[in-house]
Amino acid sequence: MRLNHQATGPLDAPVVLLASSLGTTHAMWAPQLDALAKSFRVVAFDHRGHGDSDAPPGPYTIEDLGNDVLELLDTLEADQASYVGISLGGAVGLWLAQNAPDRFHRFALLCPPVNPAANAQMWTDRARQVREEGTQAIVEQTLGRWFLPEYAEAHADEVEVIRQQLLSTPDEGYAACCEALSTLDLTPGLDSITAPVLVVTAEQDTSIPPETVIPLATTIPGAHLEIVEDAAHLVTYSHADRINPLLLTHLS
């Protein structure tokens, strides 16, 4: 599986993978790149079915998405890396932490869905809607969950960047990833994770509510929890000034 990716930072620096949310591309990490690339070889990638990565017919599974990342590491000729993922990218990170611990130093998981299968019908309904009507059918409601109204009004240009990423995501790729989430429960095995893990949740996240994320910090041994106040789902944009130092401290 060919994953489109962009690498920045010193060639000999430790590798950090950046995994984006459902319906976005590697370009969503723009607010973090300059900060991280001073110390790390930063590789931001598009999930299968997103951006310029291969987009085979669905449905997909979390194993598919996780194994794609392992193939990317092999392509990069990197024995190990650290991993930062938000939303869908965070779910993939949890799977990798459980299933490929020898390939990763540490994880930063931002607003990750832990048991989306609990809302399986919602995910399968969304997959069907996108296949029938295209991603444009879910864009505005998605943006409404990802940004607080006052932030969206003051930063319309940033919101437009994410809108265009959602609109450009292949319908089949988006729907197939929804189907991966519809069957996903990462709860079993969380207490077996051995890598250092930073868990970040957003106080006003209605996509992945804090009460579903906070238990990770008590279930994963040694995990560190940060709650970002006055923030919705896409904290990497709205609170980059808080997220970037957290990532640098944890990854270092």
Q: What is the mean pLDDT of the chain?
A: 95
User: What's the rounded mean pLDDT across residues 120-126?
Assistant: 92
Look at residue 237 in the predicted model and tell me its pLDDT.
Answer: 93
Look at residue 108 in the predicted model and tell me its pLDDT.
Answer: 98
How confident is the model over 175-210, as pLDDT tens digits?
A: 999 999 999 899 999 999 999 999 999 999 999 999
- How many whole angstroms from its chain centre is CA 70? 16
Return the H-helix or E-strand segment holding 19.
strand 15-19
Look at residue 116 in the predicted model and tell me its pLDDT.
Answer: 81
How confident is the model over 128-138, as pLDDT tens digits?
A: 999 999 999 99
Phi/psi class of residue 198: alpha, beta or left (left: φ > 0; alpha: ψ in -120 to 50)?
A: beta
Predicted model pTM? 0.96
The total domain count for the chain is 1
**What band does 34 get if pLDDT is binned at 50, 70 and 90?**
very high
> Which range of residues forms the domain containing residue 68?
5-251
Question: Can you read off the two tokens belonging to residue 21?
Answer: 């949310």
How confident is the model over 41-68, as pLDDT tens digits?
A: 999 999 999 999 988 998 999 999 999 9
Q: What is the CATH number of the domain that holds 136?
A: 3.40.50.1820
Cβ-contact 236, 147 below 8 angstroms = no
Residues 7, 24: Cα–Cα separation, whole Å: 17
- Alpha-carbon torsion angle 160, 166, 168, 170, nearest 10: 180
Residues 235, 32: Cα–Cα separation, whole Å: 11
- Specify the residue for token string 């399986």: 120
Residues 159, 99: Cα–Cα separation, whole Å: 35
